[in-house]
Structure 1
Amino acid sequence: MSTLDAYDDLATLQRETFDYFIHEANPANGLVRDKTEADWPASIAATGLALACYPVGVERGFMSRNAAVERTLATLRFFWNSQQGPEPDATGYRGFYYHFLDMQTGRRAWRCELSTIDSTFLLAGALAAAEFFDAETQAEAEIRTLAEALYRRADWRWAQDGGETVTHGWTPEREFLKHRWEGYDEALLLYVLGLGSPTHPLPPSSYKAWTATFRWEHCYGYDYLYAGPLFIHQLSHVWIDFRSLQDPFMRSKGSDYFENSRRATYVQQRYAIENPRGFNGYGEYCWGITASEGPGPSTLKLNGIERRFEDYVARGVPYGPDDGTLAPWAAVASLPFAPEIVRPTIAYCIHQAKLKAANAYGFKAAFNPTHPGSPDNAFDWWISPWHFGLNEGPVVLMIENERSGLVWKLMRACPYIRSGLQRAGFEGGWLAQFSREPPQLN
């Protein structure tokens, strides 16, 4: 495939994926549907990703600046004015928001949790919008004011519930969840935002406590900070350029989180090539194991082998769980780390596996070449019927980061991101141009 063809593939995939945030949103309040299934609620993480995608849409000509301002303002106004309180049908509490919200009313859906990580993605999207919409107009000034107010309202210390690390969340019925953000995971961004808060900051000891739970491993010839699902190595990098940035943990390993994600991407490919569990389709151009929907729960005997298939689960490499389900979006989201192996994989998924054919929003969420397909799809194997906002956003944003670095540039300019990184002990990279003393945030 020529370089021009590969460029066209990426541009088309980005454009089609971006459409999710135009068509699967409520323009009145800016909420973005979690999943394309009928009557599904909004996801605050998908909504945060949308806020970061609108600047990409403006820069790439997918939407006008005026339309992006209108959609962004609707979103930020909704969250600022929505009900905050301990009531079970509120939208949020203590500056955090419920994981899922009714698309029309914006109230809590499904008795779900007040989610610290999903609120993190929402607030990161707001901060990205504040940096992009920098014109001296009333509307763009309001975007900046609302984004900062929303970020300042989040009470990160409350979310610690008296411990060092941050809890996963809270419900009115049972209060704080028992699980905390420990072990290497997507909470890298959470701790940076929490540390950078000018109002309710996490103490630096919380970050140290988090990194103390890390696992450094050797897999398929690579030494790296282990996390099984590929999304963990990507979601914080959607927002922050970690190239050559080192915190105390990474300095001790002579590495950085960007390099770590590159190695994790190669581990994923090597695992697929070796295919230790003998699933169909795995190979050099067919990989991407992460938290995703699957064809189960079910057990089938196929070619004399009994296979257990799961539904939505955090699949991972190399220790599993692994039931033969692959997520093409997860391969795309590693584009900035290892373009030399991701670009051929994207081409394979488009031209050989036909995973974009007849899809409204680029790639579907997941597929499983080992599991038989249903009568209502055109494949001989299972493919998800849905698209998810949490998958679509990283595709748009990581393609853009590889092409222009837009989101990384926006977040470098955010004083709260810089402060959070510096208070966590990061040095080097693009941070070197700033004072080592964290900025004073009023």
Structure 2
Amino acid sequence: MGGHLIMDDAHLLTSLQKDSFDYFIHEVNPANGLIRDKTAENWPASIAAVGMALTVYTIGVERGFMSRAHAAQRTLTTLQFFAESEQGTGINATGYKGFYYHFLDMETGRRAWDCELSSIDTGLLLTGVLTSAQYFTQDNAVEQKIREFADLLYQRADWQWMLAGSQLICHGWKPETGFLQWHWEGYDEALILYLLALGSPTFPIGPESYAAWTTSYEWKCIYDIEYLYAGPLFIHQMSHLWVDFRNIRDDFMRTHDADYFENSRRATLIQQQYAIKNPMGFEQYNALCWGVTASDGPGNLVKKIRGVERLFFDYVARGAPFGPDDGTLAPWAVAACLPFAPEVVLPSISHFQHLRLREVNPYGFKASFSPTFQAEEPHKAGWVSPYHFGINEGPTVIMIENHLHDFPWKMMRENPYIQAGLISAGFDGGWLAAARKISVQNENTANTRQTSNNIEKANPSALSEGEKI
């Protein structure tokens, strides 16, 4: 894909990728590998951001942003912390049943803010863990330990327990009150979660759970575009950070003659069309200025703007075209759409650059901005978030990499657990069909060798030298 970029585009993307990469170098506790959720004083770590960091480090090595030795040691420190941290029902533990609390204290690694043991955030963490094992394959002590810890962490997660008596995976658990009342249903970021649970060699859920999840999908037609609906952009991106959904289909997508990659492309185009139509009359919404997703906001308040009372939000999962929307846009969410629709994303990235959303800014684009909500200190973009978030920077780095080099996707196409999860979910076609064919060939070869060895052990003279395999 990179060959189709003009030089200015290529430079813009690589510089944006490097700036976003730096978040994971600086917003970290090097003693345990934990990544700060956002750039606010005394803020805790996000385990989802840690999962992204583990993936980002492999990209950093490939792009020359950090040495392999540095990346491997940082990765090992991180995995060792999670492998050896307290697993139990105590309110100050780090995790339980192979799952981890959504937010952890940056220094102690213990549960922060009485938060939940989070299934989805653990899933994003574990996908990063699997990426580490897929990348660090050299025959040395550090990389061998990375692979050992990665297997331990993935295989320890008890997905059957997280069903909480349902066919659907539960959102999480708290030591004070038990399982949360919500389960993952409706199309959302849990696609990767179900694949991980289906592919587990230790505590797998069954295909009936995946089928139950897909029955809660909503197929809609918006702006004459048919797609599997979800309002916030991040839902159409999160699982795609690691899994290449191009030309592979489950039963649901076969029925609609599409795949999840094409679906995310359609969601991207719908978001742009929503901004062009601008039904709520927000400032600066247009073909270049769009991107409604979960993001930071100006605050929970009502403010009269040009004679119109506007309701604004703090951090919330904004969505289009059915809301909630308060005029707040997220440049990172547009950048993370790059593989799906580069022809509409690249001009928007350039536009955000012209809005001065990277000035005096160490980590790429600002997290979010609201042209409608005018801040006390005027800015071309109106209100601008003062913070950066790990779960914004990670998708920026990873999706630019997928677009330019296909690197994270290539790694995870070869991961046996991801392959197993996809197959159990009923996916087939494209690269997965080719991978299954190679797997069967390798298995047949291994079985032939084992049979030959067994025969030879039983009767060493049964095979001539020329017949031995």
Q: TM-score, normalised by structure 2?
A: 0.92
The alpha-carbon deviation at position 221 of structure 1 amounts to 1.6
The within-5 A match list for 1:376-395 is 378-379=379-380, 381-395=382-396
CA distance in 1, matches of 2:379, 2:371: 13
Identify which of 120, 145, 149 aligns with 2:148. Answer: 145
Letter matched to residue 293 of structure 1: D
Partner of 1:427: 428
For 2:190, the aligned partner's letter is A
2:198 aligned to 173, 195, 200, which one?
A: 195
**1:122 aligns with one of 117, 120, 125:** 125
Specify the alignment match of 2:409 in structure 1: 408
1:359 aligns with 2:348: no
SS at match of 1:67: helix
Residue pairs, 1:27-38, within 5 angstroms: 27-38=30-41
Q: In the alignment, which of 217, 232, 236 is matched to residue 239 of structure 2?
A: 236
Question: Following the alignment from structure 1 to structure 2, what is the Cα–Cα distance between the partners of residues 414 and 149?
Answer: 16
Match of 2:29 in 1: 26
One-letter identity of the residue aligned with 1:423: S
Instruction: For 1:402 and 1:160, locate their aligned partners in 2 and report how far apart those are by CA, in whole Å.
Output: 35
What is the deviation of 1:436?
6.9
Q: How does 1:37-436 map to 2 (within 5 A)?
A: 37-350=40-353, 352-375=354-377, 378-379=379-380, 381-435=382-436
Counterpart residue number, 2:454: none
**What SS does the aligned partner of 2:7 have?**
helix
CA distance in 1, matches of 2:439, 2:103: 34
Aligned-pair CA distance for 1:355: 0.8
Q: Secondary structure at the match of 1:370?
A: coil
SS at match of 1:280: coil
SS of 2:396's equivalent in the other structure is helix
Task: Report the secondary structure of 1:87's partner residue.
Answer: coil
Q: CA deviation at 1:435?
A: 2.7
Taking the aligned partners of 2:13 and 2:436, their CA distance within structure 1 comes to: 37
Q: Indicate if the aligned counterparts of 2:120 and 2:190 stay in contact, CA closer than 8 A.
A: yes
State the distance in 1 between where 2:419 and 2:359 align: 42
* Amino acid paired to 2:67: S
- Following the alignment from structure 2 to structure 1, what is the Cα–Cα distance between the partners of residues 38 and 201? 34
Structure of greater Rg: 2
* CA spacing shift, 1:242–1:65, aligned 2, 3 Å: same
TM superposition shift of 1:434? 2.6
1:304, CA displacement in angstroms? 0.7
Letter in 2 for 1:371: F
Asked whether the equivalents of residues 184 and 214 of structure 1 are also in contact (C-alpha less than 8 Å), the reply is: yes
Range that drifts further, 378-387 or 29-38? 378-387
1:370-422: CA deviation from partner (whole Å, max 9, x where unpaired): 001133x7556100000000000000000000011111111111100000000
C-alpha distance in 2 between matches for 1:258 and 1:281: 29
Change (3 A) 1:409 1:425: same
> For 2:40 and 2:218, how far apart are their aligned partners in 1?
37
Which whole-Å deviations, capped at 9, do the CAs of 1:177-221 have from their partners, x for residues lacking one? Answer: 001100000000000000000000011110000000000000012
Deviations 1:325-365 (A, max 9, x none): 00000000000000010011111111x21111111100111
What are structure 1's unaligned runs of at least 5 residues?
none
8 Å CA contact retained: 1:418, 1:438 = no
| Aligned counterparts of 1:157 and 1:420: Cα–Cα separation in 2 | 15
- Equivalenced residue count is 437
Task: State the alpha-carbon separation in 2 of the partners of residues 168 and 84 from structure 1.
Answer: 18
Structure 1 segments, 4+ long, off by >2 Å, are: 377-380, 434-440
Shift of 1:437: 11
What secondary structure sits across from 2:304 in the alignment? Answer: strand
CA contact under 8 A between 1:43 and 1:100: conserved in structure 2?
yes
Q: 2:387 corresponds to which letter in structure 1?
A: W
Measure, in 1, the Cα distance between the counterparts of 2:195 and 2:147. Answer: 20
Name the CA distance, whole Å, in 2 between partners of 1:175 and 1:58.
41
Aligned-partner Cα distance in 2 for 1:310–1:154: 35
Q: State the Cα deviation string for residues 215-244 of structure 1 (Å, max 9, x = none).
A: 000001210000000000000000100000
- The 2-side partners of 1:273 and 1:3 are apart by 26
Query: For the Cα contact (< 8 Å) 1:280–1:370, is it kept in 2?
Result: yes
Residue identity opposite 1:317 in structure 2: A
Contact 1:419–1:438 (Cα < 8 Å) also in 2: no
Residue type matched to 1:409 in 2?
K
Q: Are the aligned partners of 1:373 and 1:379 in contact in 2 as well (CA < 8 Å)?
A: no
Q: Percent identity?
A: 58
Contact in 1 for aligned 2:223/2:270 (Cα 8 Å): yes
Letter in 2 for 1:403: L
Residue by residue over 1:230-273, the C-alpha shift from the partner in whole angstroms, topping out at 9 and shown as x without a partner, is: 00000000010000010000000000000000000000000000
Partner SS for 2:370: strand
In 2, Cα distance between equivalents of 1:18 and 1:221 = 38
* 1:279-310 deviation per Cα after TM superposition (whole angstroms, max 9, x unaligned): 00111110000011110211011111110101
Give CA deviations for 1:55-106 in whole Å, capped at 9, x if unaligned: 1000001000010011000000000000000000000000000000000000
What secondary structure, in the 3-state scheme, does the structure 2 residue paired with 1:434 have?
helix
* Offset from partner CA, 1:20-54 (integer Å, 9 cap, x none): 00000011100000000010000000000000000
Instruction: Look up the SS of the partner of 1:323 in the other structure.
Output: coil
Report the 3-state secondary structure (helix = DSSP H, G, I; strand = E; otherwise coil) of the residue aligned with 1:324: coil
Cα distance between partner residues in 1 of 2:358 and 2:294 = 20
Cα pair 1:422 1:437 within 8 Å, conserved: no
